A and B are shown apart, each in its own frame.
Chain A
Amino acid sequence: MSQSAQDRVNDFVIKLANVNGTGSASANSLLMKTIFRMGIPVNGKNFFPSNIQGLPTWYEIRVTRDGYLARSGRVDVMVAMNAQTYAQDLADVSPGGTLIYDSTWPRHQLLARSDITILGVPLARMCNERFSNARTRVLMKNMAYVGALAALLGLDRAVIEQLVEETFARKPAALDANREAIELGFAYAQEHFDCPLPTRVEPLDKTSGHIMIDGNTATALGCVYAGATVGAWYPITPSTSVMDAFKSYCERYRTDPETGERRFCIIQAEDELAAIGMVLGASWNGARAFTPTSGPGLSLMNEFLGFAYFAELPAVVVDVQRVGPSTGMPTRTQQSDMLSAAYASHGDTRHVLLLPANPGECFEFAVAAFDLAERLQTPVILLSDLDIGMNDWMCKELSWDPAYRPDRGKVLGADELVDAANFHRYLDKDGDGIPYRTLPGVHPKGAYFVRGSGHNKYGAYTEDSDEYREVVDRLLVKWRTAATLVPKPEIRRHPKSAGWGIVAAGSCDWAVLEALDRLADSGIHLDYCRIRAFPFGKEVEEFLEQHERVFVVEQNRDAQLKALLTLETEYPKQRMHSVLHYGGLPIDCSSIVSAVERAEAQGEAA
C-alpha cells in the first residue's frame, strides 16, 4: 500500500467501468451526488465512446476532502461491470485498491493481482431473481452496485433514499425497483464483507453553497441570462448540450403561457457555415445571437469569421474543444483550437477569446461574451473544452446581479439619427477604435452597406491603399481597446517564489493548483498566472516579465498557448518551458509536478 488506509478517508477515486447504453449514468450520478450531499468535495469525469450503444464507457469519481477538482490519475475502487475491459480495468487499480466485480460469472483472471482486494457481488443473479422485466434487470444491476458501494464506502443511506425519491418522484414503480436493487447490493455487502472499507467517506461540511453542474449547461444559462434570442447551430459533440440546455431553459422561461409564443428562435442550420451566417444576420439586426460548435465547425466558420472581423459585426461563438486534428476523438478533451480560433480566417484577423476554467466562468463569460461582442463589434469566441463542458464540476452556486443590463455598445437609435447631419459607419469618433453602428429598419439616415470587400472609413467600397490601411490600422486601435476590456488573468503569487511561474488557461487550472501544492510540499514555490482571455493585456505581459522562467501548461501537442504568447508578447520564447498533455484525457497534476521537479533538479533555477 502506497498510502496508509487512514489517508484514503474522503480522498480516493472510484472508477466505474460500464458498457454504454446500459443505463449506468443515473446510478453513477446518484453515487456522486450522495457523496456531494454528505458535504465532501467531489468531481465526476465521464470517459465515453463516440458511439450510442455497446462500447466501453468509464465514469471516474474523485472524492477529495481538499477540494482538488482535477483528475487524479489513480484508481482506489474499481467497479468492473464490463467483461470486455476486465483485464485493463484490473490493471488500472492502484496498489492497495479494491476491485468489485459481478460474481454471477466466474472471473478467474481477476485473481491475477495479489496487491489489491477483489470483491465479488453476484449483481446479475440477484437482479434476475428479483426482477422479471429484462430491461429492468439490466438497469437494476447498476443500482445494486450503488447499494454495495453504500455499504463498502460508508455512504449515508438517508441521502441516497432522498435522492432516489427526488429522481423518481413521478414514477412510483421505478422508485420501488430502485430502492429494492439498492437494498439487494447493500445487504449482500454487509453480509459478506467487512464494511466499511478503510477507503471510505465520512461526512464533512465543505460543499454548502456549491452545486454540481457541467460547463455546457452553465454556458447555456449564461446565454439565456444575457438575453440571447437567436441560437443557430449544427449538432456536434461536445457542444450539443449547450443548445439542448438553451432550448429547455428558453422553453421554460420564454414561452408565453397563454399564446405559446416563443421569445427566442433556435435554428438547426444545414451546416456550420450557415450557423455562423445566421448569427451574423441576426446580430446585424440587433439581436443577441450565438452558435455553439467544436473544432470541425470552427474550421468551417472561418470565412465568415474574417468577414465579421472586417465588417465589424458582433457574434458569439462557443467552441467546446475536442481532440483534433480532423474528426479526431470527438469524446475526448483537448485545448487545441487556441491558434485556429485566435487567428481564424484568411488575411490579418485576430479574435477575442474568452477562456473559462470551470462552469462558473462559463456562465459569467457567456454573459461577458455578448457584452464584449457588442461593445467591440467583433466576434468573441468562448473557448471551453469537453472536460469543462460535459463533466460535472463542483462550483459555487451561480448568482445573478439584478442590476445587470446588457451593454449593447455604440448603436445609434432613431432619435440620434434624426438629429445627425449624416451617418458614416467606420469613423473613429471616440479614439478607441470602435465606430458607431445602426440597425436595419430603424431610420433612413442609418442605412449603410455591410461588406467584406475593401471599404473606407465612410463605409464606401474602396481599392485605395491609404483608405484601406486607415481602416485596418484603426482595427488595431480597437484591438488594443479590447485588451483593456476582456477578463484579467487570475494571478496567485507565493511569498517564497524564487522567480519561476506557471502560465495556463482553461481546464488546466485545477491540475496546476494541485501541482503548486504538491511542489510546495517539497519546497518548490512558484507563482501562477491563469490567462482568462485573448488579447492578453498588460497584466499577463507583466507577469511574464517578472519571471525568470515560465512553465506554460496546456493540453495540446504543439504548445499553442506558448506560440500565442511568443507572437503576442515581448517575452523571450527561450524562457518558456512547455508542459504538454494531449492524449485526450483531462490533465492531472503529475506531469506538471514532474516537469518542474526535473527542471529544478537540473539546476535551472535562477
Chain B
Amino acid sequence: MTSIAKPKIVHRGLRRNALGLTIRDYEGGMSTLCAGCGHDSVTAAIVQAFFELDIPPHRVAKMSGIGCSSKTPAYFLGASHGFNAVHGRMPSIATGAGAANRDLYLLGISGDGDSLSIGLGQFAHAVRRNLDMLYVIENNGVYGLTKGQFSASADVGSKAKRGEENRQPPIDPVQMAMALGGTFVARSFSGDKDQLVPLIKAGIRHRGFALLDVLSPCVTFNDHEASTKSYAYTREFRHRVVNADFIPPREEIKAAYDEGEVMPIELHDGSRVLLRKISKDYNPHNRGAAIDYIRSHHRAGEIVTGLLYMDEGDPDMHGLNNTSRTPLNELPFEALCPGADALASLQRRFR
C-alpha cells in the first residue's frame, strides 16, 4: 500500500471537535490512486465523519482486503491501527478483532472484487453474525488493481473498456445483506458527500453489522459510456429514497422536517438517526417490501440510494454470545485460569 506522508500544517482558524482535534488529525497519507478515482471521495467522507463524531482516532481499527479500494485505509485516520489483510478475508480479521475487543470501532473497507467474489463467503457470514462494524464496499464493477476485469457486481450488458460485454447477472451486496438478515443496509455514491457522511456516522454508531455499498467509479477502467458504474450513469439514474441525518446524543432534533415524513431511530448510545422518506411508497422497516422496491427499480435501471433498511433491535455477535462487558483482551489472567485446585479436582473424572 503505497502512501506518501502528508505535511501536516494546521491553520489556526481550523475548526476543532469536542476532543480538540482538527480535521487534519483524521487524515492519513497522500493517496496514490488515479486522479478522479471515486475511492478518494469516500476517503474524504470518512475523514469528515470521524472528525464530526469526535472519535479518538486510535480507538478505531481500520481494516481492508486487497484492491485499490482496500489501499485507502492508508489515506485516512493516520493515528488508527490498520490491517491490510489478504484478498477477500478482511471480515474474518474484523471478527477476531471484535471478539477480542468489543470496545473498538471497527471499520472495514473493501471492493466489489474483494467482497463479492473471493470474499463472498466471509462477507455473508459477517452479516449473518451481525458483527458490530461498519463495512464499506467501494463498488466500481471492476477489479481496478488487476487492470479492469469485470467483477461480480458488473451489470448485464455493461461493457469493459475494450468493448467486451458482461452477460452474467450481478451480485448486489445490498440485496444480499437484506436477505441475510443485515440490520443496517445502505447505498450511496462516492460523489454525494452530503448523503455519504451521515450514512457513515450512522453506520459507525449502529450496534451490529452496517453495510454501506458506495458506487465509486473507476476512472481508469470503468468510467466510459457503456458502463453502469460510471459517474455519468450513476449521477443520472441514482434515485434517493431515504435521507438519513445523524444526530449525536444530547443534540436537539431540529424541527425542520414535516411530521410523518421523519422517522427518528434511537441508537443504543443515545444518538439518533433521522430517516426522511423521499419516496412515499418506500418502507425502510419492512425487509421484504424494501427488497421488492430495490429489485423493481434495478430492473428499470435505477439505483436506489439512502439508508435502505435499519433495525436497531437485533443482538450483535457479543449479544448472542453473552460475552463479558469487559473486552476479552482486558480480562486479567486470574479471571481466565481456573487454577491448580480446579485442575486437581477436574481430573477425578480421568481416574
Task: Enumerate chain A interface residues (CB-CB to B < 8 A).
Answer: 36-37, 211-213, 221, 224-230, 232, 249, 253-254, 256, 260-267, 269-271, 273-287, 289, 303-304, 307, 397-402, 404-406, 438-444, 446-453, 461
Contact = CB atoms under 8 A, between A and B. Distances in A.
Residue among A279, A397, A402, A461 with most chain B CB within 10 A: A461
B81 A447 contact: yes
B343 interface: yes
A287 B99 contact: yes
B91 to A, nearest CB: 7
A441 B329 CA distance: 11
A287 B326 CA distance: 13
Interface in B40-84: 56-59, 61, 63, 73-74, 78-84
Interface in B336-350: 336-340, 342-344, 346-347, 350
Given A279-B96, A287-B328, A461-B2, A270 B125 contact: yes
Contact of A440 (B73, B81, B336): B81
B96 A283 contact: yes
Contacts of A289: 96, 99-100
Contacts of B93: 277-278, 280-281, 284
Contacts of A400: 339-340, 343
Nearest to A261: B324
B328 A449 contact: no
Given A264-B328, A269-B92, A227 B58 contact: no
A69 B344 CA distance: 23
Given A270-B122, A274-B125, A229 B331 contact: yes
A303 B322 CA distance: 32
A107 B2 CA distance: 78
A403 to B, nearest CB: 10
A398 B328 contact: no
A286 B99 CA distance: 11
A261 B86 CA distance: 33
B239 to A, nearest CB: 34
Contacts of A264: 323, 328
A260 B58 contact: no
B100 A285 contact: yes
User: Chain B, interface size: which category?
Assistant: 35 or more
Contacts of B81: 284, 438-441, 446-450
A253 to B, nearest CB: 4
A45 to B, nearest CB: 17
B1 A451 contact: yes
26 contacts: A211-B347, A211-B351, A225-B338, A227-B333, A228-B336, A249-B346, A264-B328, A265-B318, A265-B323, A270-B124, A274-B89, A274-B91, A277-B95, A280-B92, A282-B99, A285-B101, A287-B328, A307-B86, A398-B347, A399-B340, A440-B58, A447-B58, A447-B81, A450-B82, A453-B1, A461-B1
A451 B350 CA distance: 45
A276 B89 CA distance: 10
A541 B99 CA distance: 42
A398 B91 CA distance: 38
A567 B225 CA distance: 58
B101 A440 contact: yes
Nearest to B56: A444
B329 A452 contact: no
In the A-B complex, list the 8 residue pairs whose CB atoms are closest, starting with the nearest: A281-B96, A277-B92, A287-B100, A440-B81, A285-B100, A211-B350, A278-B96, A282-B96
Residue among A221, A267, A269 with most chain B CB within 10 A: A267
B325 interface: yes
A307 B80 CA distance: 20
Given A211-B351, A307-B85, A254 B336 contact: yes
A536 to B, nearest CB: 30
A303 B249 CA distance: 43
B94 interface: yes
